[in-house]
Structure 1
Amino acid sequence: MRIVFLNSLEKKSSDAVSGGAQVWIGEEEGLWRMGWNETTAEGEQETIWYEGGSWSEMLHVYRHRLVVKLGEGYRPVIEGIWDEREEFQGRGMAAQKLICYSELHGNEEFYNELCAWRRKKASADRKAPYMIASNRLLRLISVFKPWTTEELLQLPGVGESKAAEYGPELLEMAQAQGGERPGDFPLGWVEQNIDEDVFRSWMYKQKEAKFKLEMEKFSTRRVVLESLAQGLDLQEICVRTNLDRREAVELLELLEKDGYTTDSLVQLELKDMPAEQQNEVWKAFEEMGDSFLKPVLQRVYDQETLDAGGLDKLYERLRLLRISYRRQKERAPKAG
């Protein structure tokens, strides 16, 4: 196997190196392999992170697995393993450090009280809880305890509108807490009170979930494309990917936008739909547009059919037909 990439990492503890590791990528006859070698008290241990023919998929796995290790405290011996110029610079770093500090120095009792307030407020206003305040904002309030509107506006995630609508109640709760605050406003002191390496590890952990989701999306996409090539139906694709039928159809729509053809699967799924109904849907798309499905549904099907149930199936058919309709519209010669 030919090694095409290799870098060493160290994990430090109390200014002493406590462990070493290497991340590597190799290639042999078109097959990519990637792994992690770590030196422990029991000796060197090797873990294979990826083995396959897709360079793109391997990069997704690399980003996720590496950011996990960086979050654990490993740092590259030779720079270049991770481009940190955009990671720890920029206007947003001050806000990120406030969030990091609030999570590292949590006030769980007050935070839980704020969460209970949010649940009641969301129920009374008939809003989703996140529209009232995010978890991160509640944690910021629970730790820094702003006492005035001016102080509240210094927290990331608080604008004039939110401060006007919810500020009085939040400030009253913060003032009722009493006791000392970790520091006064403005909060410039926070930056000097966070260890830079601890902050870096925290930042990497924030990216871990994001990269994992991207990796899973890429893998799911690959499985769907392989399934299309094998002529599988929608139900078989759902079994392979753990997607529900609506999620699978939405992914098919995205693949069409990216230039892939799903025509064989669309025809397979619509084989039991009467041609007359298909023509009616097609005509409705032409007359009403294809952005909204509910008007098309109401145009094509009578109330008795809609009341009989099975709306999910009807909408699925409309989405599948819309894929074909949009493909044909895209290929049609444009006037002028």
Structure 2
Amino acid sequence: MQIVFMNQMSGADESGHARSAQVWIGEEEGGWRLGWRSIEQEGDFFDEEWYEGNSWNELLCVYRHQLAKKLGEGFRPLIEGVFHESGENGGKSQVSQKLQCYSELYGSEELYTELCAWRRRKAASGRKAPYFIASNRVLRMISAFIPQTEEELLQLPGIGTSKASEHGAEWLEITSKIERTTSFPLDWVYSQLSEEVFLSWLYKQKEQKYKQELERFQIRRTMLLGIAEGASLAHLEERTSLSRRDLVEELEGLEKEGYDTEQLLQIELSAITETEQATVWRAFEELGDTFLKPVLQRVYGQAQTEKGEAEEIGGTEKLYERLRLLRIRFRRAEASKVKMS
């Protein structure tokens, strides 16, 4: 195996003892390997193989995810810049991140739980998803810094004048009952929060982000292999554990990126008559393909679709699925027209 990249890492364990490691990428017989070697003070070493395969893009996904985990555990590269992303080391972004870090590590769990309960009640009464009311990040901020006035609320990242106007009075009613030991403005956070604690937290955030990227890459690879093998959406549901709706969304993304999805479309649309497909096509031409509800009502009738939506029956969901699949073909045809003109 030929090593094409290696970086030395160093850190300390929970007892403060120094430790070192190496992260490496190797090439062997046209394939890629990725690994980690922990080196003990006595000279012993322990290897972890993170990846072996032919996909450089998948290797990079695994590399970012696994390295973020190690950095979160306290390892640091001897060569700086190995894991740097533009804009992460300064400016408003880092100010907001440090406040978020402090709020997640030192916020009141009891107050956060109470705020989450408030959000659930608010979402239920307004028939909205909870994240439309307030994000977890915002509620963590409130639970950590316990604002007592609207002016203080507006100093928290993620709370603008609109949110403060809409929910501020209810938030302040909850926080006014709690005695706090810190104050506003929040400049004290930046000196009280150690750089090492902040960096470890930051890399934990990266770990979650890159884990999601890796999972999505693996799902897309599974889908592409399935499409090539003639799998249906039902088969892909079993292979990926995604819902049909999520699979169609991923399919739309693959089509946009230039992958060939026609084999799967043929399988799923084979039960739809040519007459129905032609009717849907004309509706796209006349109404556009941005919004599906007008097309649904034009093709299948308003009374039927309204009843389906009201009762949340599977039939309406299936009709929307058909339209999304046919829209992939329609958009492909429209893009070809543009290229030829």
Moved more, 129-138 or 39-48: 39-48
Deviation readout 1:91-140 (Å, 9 max, x if unpaired): 22112111211222222222222223333333334433323322222222
Instruction: Tell me, in whole angstroms, the C-alpha distance in 1 between the residues paired with 2:14 and 2:230.
Output: 57
Q: CA deviation at 1:273?
A: 1.6
Note if contact 2:283-2:295 (Cα within 8 Å) is conserved in structure 1.
yes
Quick one: which amino acid aligns to residue 289 of structure 2? D
Instruction: Tell me, in whole angstroms, the C-alpha distance in 1 between the residues paired with 2:191 and 2:176.
Output: 26
What SS does structure 2 have at the residue aligned with 1:92?
helix
* Number of the residue aligned with 2:178: 177
Q: Superposition pairs for residues 185-200 of structure 1, below 5 Å?
A: 185-200=184-199
Answering whether residue 320 of structure 2 is matched by residue 315 of structure 1, we say yes
* Number of the residue aligned with 1:327: 332
CA pair 159-248 structure 1, distance change in 2 beyond 3 A: same
Answering whether residue 131 of structure 2 is matched by residue 140 of structure 1, we say no
* Number of the residue aligned with 1:28: 28
Q: CA deviation at 1:211?
A: 0.9
Q: CA deviation at 1:165?
A: 2.5
* Number of the residue aligned with 1:224: 223
Note if contact 2:107-2:145 (Cα within 8 Å) is conserved in structure 1.
no
Over the aligned positions, Cα root-mean-square deviation in angstroms equals: 2.5
Q: CA deviation at 1:78?
A: 2.2
Gaps spanning 5+ residues in structure 1: where? none
* Number of the residue aligned with 2:69: 68
What SS does structure 1 have at the residue aligned with 2:272?
coil
Note if contact 1:10-1:17 (Cα within 8 Å) is conserved in structure 2.
no
* Number of the residue aligned with 2:274: 275
* Number of the residue aligned with 1:244: 243
Quick one: which amino acid aligns to residue 191 of structure 2? Q
Moved more, 259-268 or 211-220: 259-268
Identity of aligned residues (%): 54
Moved more, 307-316 or 213-222: 307-316
CA pair 13-192 structure 1, distance change in 2 beyond 3 A: farther
Q: CA deviation at 1:84?
A: 5.6
Question: How many residues align structurally?
Answer: 334
Moved more, 111-120 or 73-82: 111-120
Instruction: Tell me, in whole angstroms, the C-alpha distance in 1 between the residues paired with 2:72 and 2:261.
Output: 40
Note if contact 2:9-2:22 (Cα within 8 Å) is conserved in structure 1.
yes
Note if contact 1:145-1:181 (Cα within 8 Å) is conserved in structure 2.
no
User: TM-score w.r.t. structure 1 length?
Assistant: 0.90
Q: CA deviation at 1:85?
A: 5.5
Instruction: Tell me, in whole angstroms, the C-alpha distance in 1 between the residues paired with 2:198 and 2:170.
Output: 32
User: TM-score w.r.t. structure 2 length?
Assistant: 0.89
Q: CA deviation at 1:334?
A: 7.2
